[in-house]
Amino acid sequence: MEVKKMICINCPLGCSLEITIDGEEINVSGNKCKRGREYGISEIKDPRRIVTSTVRVLNGDKMLVSVKTSREIPKKLIFDVMKEINGVKLKAPVSIGDIVIKDILGTGVDVVATSNAKKI
């Protein structure tokens, strides 16, 4: 049996979770809501994160625009996703919501612009 402790980040309460793993069985305690239980289980089985970064812009009024994944990706893919994002150069204009990378690494998740850059 293994016990892990973590803070739930799903809501402002920040509950201290204690997760007990016994073979295939996962028990969560310390959560004050259902979301805390779900968070604890997902962090053990398949941790996921939204990735935020910046991408270079050519011929724009800004050198960089911010980007993020449209949904969470598996945590183990973060460095590979960042490598793909770092290789991108966009031509201005760029608008919030523009798809920068479609279906990154075959995850079904897009990388989208979260800021604007005008063409100069």
Enumerate the CATH 3.10.530.10 domain ranges in the chain, comma separated: 52-113
**Which stretches of the chain score pLDDT less than 70?**
none
User: Which pLDDT belongs to residue 5?
Assistant: 97
Question: What is the CA 104 to chain-centroid distance, rounded?
Answer: 12
CATH no. for 52-113: 3.10.530.10
Decide: 36 and 10 in contact? Cβ < 8 Å: yes
First to last CA, the chain: 61
Sheet (strand 16-22) strand order: 2-7, 16-22, 25-29
Report DSSP state, residue 60.
B
User: Which pLDDT belongs to residue 1?
Assistant: 87
User: Which pLDDT belongs to residue 107?
Assistant: 97
Report DSSP state, residue 97.
T
Sign of the C-alpha dihedral computed for residues 22, 17, 4 and 35 taken in this order: positive
pLDDT in tens, 1-28: 899 999 999 889 999 999 999 988 999 9
